[in-house]
């Protein structure tokens, strides 16, 4: 079994991260995971975080994926989270999060294909 390397890249949007994951999969590198970075905890509940279901607890729950976090008990906290610059997208890069971006892509790649994978990631706007 060939040795693998872990590649960690950051992206300002989920669509760029998803496009990159799809490009890596098309190249035969399918062990790729995308995670949302948040300063407030993350809850990936597709029912609550769906604006069409009318179940969103706040604007922050839709944008920051922050539903069911412990601070959601406090209405004032919800208002402050809604006013956070990351909700408007004005903080897509460099706003106090790991990697400085809202989304992290982690790929596990065989050693001989690391340069190829890094090239795909950078071509799609990722920072490695």
pLDDT of residue 101: 75
Instruction: Based on the fold, state whether residues 34 and 44 are members of the same structural domain.
Output: no
- What's residue 32's pLDDT? 96
Q: Which pLDDT does position 5 carry in this prediction?
A: 95
Number of domains making up the chain:
2
Range of the domain at 49: 40-83
Residues 70 and 55 in one domain: yes
How do the pLDDT tens digits run along the chain, 128 residues long?
679 999 999 888 888 999 999 999 999 999 999 987 766 555 554 445 555 666 666 666 666 655 544 444 566 666 666 666 666 655 555 555 655 677 889 999 999 999 999 999 999 999 99
CATH number of the domain that 114 lies in? Answer: 3.30.70.120
pLDDT given for residue 71 in this prediction:
47
Specify the long-range contacts of residues 62-68, CB closer than 8 Å, at least 24 apart: 63/87, 64/38, 64/40, 65/36, 65/38, 66/38, 66/40, 66/41, 66/42, 67/43, 68/43
């Amino acid at each position: 079994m060939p040795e693998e390397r872990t590649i960690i890249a950051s992206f300002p949007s989920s669509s760029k991260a998803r496009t990159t994951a799809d490009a890596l999969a098309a190249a035969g590198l399918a062990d790729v995971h995308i995670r949302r970075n948040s300063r407030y905890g993350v809850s990936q509940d597709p029912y609550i975080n769906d604006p069409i279901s009318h179940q969103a607890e706040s604007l922050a729950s839709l944008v920051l994926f922050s539903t069911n976090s412990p601070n959601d008990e406090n209405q004032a906290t919800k208002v402050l989270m809604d006013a956070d610059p990351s909700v408007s997208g004005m903080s897509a890069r460099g706003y106090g999060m790991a990697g400085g971006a809202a989304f992290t892509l982690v790929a596990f790649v065989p050693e001989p294909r690391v340069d190829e994978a890094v090239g795909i990631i950078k071509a799609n706007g990722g920072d490695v």
